[in-house]
Amino acid sequence: MGDTVGSINVNKLISSPRAAYILGLFCADGYQRTSSIGLSNSNEELLERFALFLFNNFSKERLRIRAYYPLEMRTIKISDKISSLTQNIVYYPSSKAKRISCHLYVNSRPLLRIFNLAKTKLKEIDQKAIISYIAGRFDGDGSVNKIKDRDFRIVYGNYKEAKIDQNLLEKIGIHKTSIYNYKYAGTFCLYIWREEIKKIVELLIPFSVYLQKRKLTLITP
């Protein structure tokens, strides 16, 4: 009991490719408080994708946005695409913000429990959902150079999650990877070796917002 909210449940998050992408996004850039769950990001496509997933289970009135903007910004307005998601938008000035960034969330303890439980079951994620889950992780906390032939990495807050994803990559045929600990930044980076980058990019493109926008720059040998 307590592991289902509408059509969202733990099993779906680790077995459905569409839901696994959302789980990957949450693992990378999730926003959570005692009874709230959502996404913290400045990319409107990612915010919209997370919102559309929530709309399957919550009314538009339940969705809320906190928008943080730079102190020097004179005109404060988020995009029409984001503002169309909900009327519950509150703006906050932030000395740390370099551009408008949003916390998009719903108040739901049951949903928060489901996502956090799913995070403990990443090792059990279904084979068919691994690629979309990694795509969500990459869109939230990953990067690659402009022509996508080097510097493909995903950033993590702890070694355990980086290692789990390294093992998941093995299951989809990505074997040449390394994990580095950047102690000064308190982060771990999972790197894909150059000879495997073309392969991982081709696997992730069908699911990744980041790579779909830049797929025409993908080079081939």
pLDDT at 76: 74
Angle, helix 159-171 to helix 130-141, in steps of 10 degrees: 140
Q: In tens digits, what is the pLDDT along the chain, a chain of 221 residues?
A: 447 777 899 999 999 999 999 999 999 999 999 899 999 998 989 999 999 999 888 988 999 999 999 988 877 777 787 888 888 999 998 888 888 899 999 999 999 999 999 999 999 999 999 999 999 999 999 999 877 778 899 999 999 999 999 999 999 999 999 999 998 889 999 999 999 999 999 999 999 999 988 654 444 44
Write down the pLDDT at residue 132: 98
One-letter identity of residue 91: Y
Strands of 47-165, DSSP E: 64-70, 89-94, 101-107, 142-143, 152-156
Quick one: which H or E segment has residue 213?
Answer: helix 209-213
CA angle 42, 58, 100 (to 5 degrees): 15
Domains (ranges, CATH) in the chain? 4-119 (3.10.28), 122-217 (3.10.28.10)
Torsion sign, CA atoms 23, 25, 29, 31: negative
Q: Residue 159's closest CA among 133, 140, 142, 178?
A: 178
